[in-house]
Structure 1
Amino acid sequence: MKTLLCSVLLATCLRAALAHYTFPNFIANGTVTTDWEYVRITANHYSNGPVSRLPHPSPAATHRSARTQLTDVTDPEFRCYELDLVNTAGATGTATVLAGSTVGFMADNTMGHPGYFDAYMTAAAPAADSEAAGTGSTWFKVWEWAPRWTAATGLIFDSENINQVNFTIPKNLPSGQYLIRLEQIALHVAETYQGAQFYIGCAQVNVVGGGSGTPGPTVAIPGVYTGYEPGILINIYDLPSNYTGYQAPGPAVWSG
């Protein structure tokens, strides 16, 4: 009986680990860069677990039920979930990218959770590799990928079971140094407050060939969410009878 129980628990843990992921690889100029070369290494780089209340999940935390890995969207680590809030930025390189070009992030595993993707950017002062970058109300959304919905089919998650996402840097974005923050809000256990799982990665970039646009609206991260938004606190398996479609959290997309 003990052997059987251990086998079941091991299988459960392996399934959980395989379902989780990080975003170590930035995609720029048609090239997938090396692990953590331009993406700030995250606190979950070993566990692959979602952003948790525990800033640096222990090995034991990796094997907890996903329902106990609660997310505090007001914690400073919610911004980029760095391994070290002070030193990680300076240890990460800054990629040069062209305004109007396609960039992206590659996961280290298949992203098997249904959810919502978006990408935020912020002008980085004094530089992209500074821990002070992005600490004000300076973030703006440049891309999102929301689930589709029809009354006949319910929510449809086209982004499920992929290993990378790509999007465009707005052509009119002014030249300069920025952070690009990719976020997936996984919704498979989002029916209770702090239950939604967040997977985050922040790349450091220097944008060249930009324009004279004014990005906005701008928000603070943390601060952009309360955790009670209908796109974050939602039971995707039991939608209300008057449901009319997914409501993306956060500001509108600025496309430049």
Structure 2
Amino acid sequence: MKSLPATLAVVAALASTTCAHWTYDRIIVNDQVIGEPWQYVRHHSNGNNFLSDVTSTDMRCNIDGLLSGVNTSTYPVNAGDRLGFTIKDTFGHPGPQQVYISKAPADVKDYDGSGDWSKIYTLSDCRAKDCGTGDGVVKWATYRAQTFNFKLPAELPAGEYLLRAEGIAIHAAQKIKGAQFYVACAQIRVSSNGTGVPGPTIKFPGGYTANSTGILIPQIWSQITNYTSPGPKLWPEGTEEAHVLDGKVKQSD
């Protein structure tokens, strides 16, 4: 059998890699996919490509994501609702999925994400019986996910917020700027009687460094036996990482 010409081999390799990339284009509310792509998620100009510079303001809502708020609708939700994101293409690399939230000082359409961010969700390694973890090597609950759900904290005060999805691919994270970040922000308006104070908080940029735990990993990804996600502790206090994907969505009528 003849081998592919060099040019075709490169194209095939790039296509395979690109298919493993993803972005987030719609939100899920109480298991229902809401609206059209980019209707409630800020449309960035980075396609399904990744970010690698944690010192950039692009880490907030991706490239040009800070400019598109005015063209993005804001969806009304209640504190305590089950929210989620759809993943365009598929979560095709090893690594965690995280969600941060940041309250806008006024209209979220005008908010640049420069305020405080609290982490409310992490989906990390898989610990279900069918994960095949007997060899001690980390398996990922995120792998091949196309949707995921999480709970919006009931303690969250009323207001308008950016809801930031962050997937991290760690297959090249043994070198500086090797970790790949896939980021997008939804705009939500929260109705609530909650009086909680989200925290601990970080800022983007500033909350991560190039050698933060979970971003720079000394070992080859396929050999690590444990993993700690970057960022602050989950809020509310006592919230635990998820280790099983909740990808439930309702069928359209």
TM-score bucket of the superposed structures, by smaller chain: 0.7 to 0.9
Give TM-score, length-normalised by structure 1. 0.83
**Could you tell me which of 31, 36, 39 is aligned with 2:38?**
36
> Structure 1 residue 123: deviation in Å?
0.7
Q: Is the 8 A contact 1:90 1:131 kept in 2?
A: no
> Structure 1 residue 226: deviation in Å?
0.3
> Structure 1 residue 197: deviation in Å?
0.5
**Could you tell me which of 137, 159, 165 is aligned with 2:142?**
159
Q: Which runs of 5+ in 2 are unaligned?
A: 128-132, 238-253
1:192 and 1:97, CA in 2 relative to 1: closer, same or farther beyond 3 A? same
- In the alignment, the residues of structure 2 paired with residue 113 and residue 152 of structure 1 have an alpha-carbon distance, to the nearest angstrom, of 20
Q: Is the 8 A contact 1:38 1:93 kept in 2?
A: yes
Answering whether residue 178 of structure 2 is matched by residue 195 of structure 1, we say yes
> Structure 1 residue 154: deviation in Å?
1.5
Answering whether residue 81 of structure 2 is matched by residue 101 of structure 1, we say yes
Amino acid in the other structure paired with 1:193: I
CA deviation profile, 1:159-213 (whole Å, cap 9, x unmatched): 1011011111000111111111010111111110110000011000000134111
**Could you tell me which of 56, 59, 64 is aligned with 1:78?**
59
SS in 2 for 1:171: coil
Q: Is the 8 A contact 1:41 1:82 kept in 2?
A: no
Q: Is the 8 A contact 1:98 1:210 kept in 2?
A: no
SS in 1 for 2:109: coil
1:119 and 1:210, CA in 2 relative to 1: closer, same or farther beyond 3 A? farther
Deviates more, 1:27-36 or 1:168-177: 27-36
After TM superposition, the structure 1 = structure 2 runs for residues 222-237 of structure 1, keeping only pairs within 5 Å, are 222-234=205-217, 235-237=220-222
Q: Is the 8 A contact 1:190 1:233 kept in 2?
A: yes
> 1:218 is matched with which residue?
201
SS in 1 for 2:172: coil
Q: Is the 8 A contact 2:75 2:187 kept in 1?
A: yes
Answering whether residue 18 of structure 2 is matched by residue 14 of structure 1, we say no
Amino acid in the other structure paired with 2:42: R
1:124 and 1:131, CA in 2 relative to 1: closer, same or farther beyond 3 A? closer
SS in 2 for 1:121: strand
> 2:244 is matched with which residue?
none
Answering whether residue 122 of structure 2 is matched by residue 144 of structure 1, we say yes
Q: Percent identity?
A: 35
Amino acid in the other structure paired with 1:215: P
> Structure 1 residue 255: deviation in Å?
2.6
> 1:58 is matched with which residue?
none
- In the alignment, the residues of structure 2 paired with residue 28 and residue 148 of structure 1 have an alpha-carbon distance, to the nearest angstrom, of 24
CA deviation profile, 1:143-170 (whole Å, cap 9, x unmatched): 1112258784211112101101111100
Amino acid in the other structure paired with 1:209: S
CA RMSD of aligned residues (A): 2.0
> 1:66 is matched with which residue?
none
1:218 and 1:43, CA in 2 relative to 1: closer, same or farther beyond 3 A? same
- In the alignment, the residues of structure 2 paired with residue 226 and residue 98 of structure 1 have an alpha-carbon distance, to the nearest angstrom, of 34
Task: Count the aligned residue pairs.
Answer: 228
CA deviation profile, 1:82-124 (whole Å, cap 9, x unmatched): 43533x1111010001100101110111211110111000111
Amino acid in the other structure paired with 1:203: A
Give TM-score, length-normalised by structure 2. 0.84
- In the alignment, the residues of structure 1 paired with residue 30 and residue 193 of structure 2 have an alpha-carbon distance, to the nearest angstrom, of 16
Q: Is the 8 A contact 2:58 2:64 kept in 1?
A: no
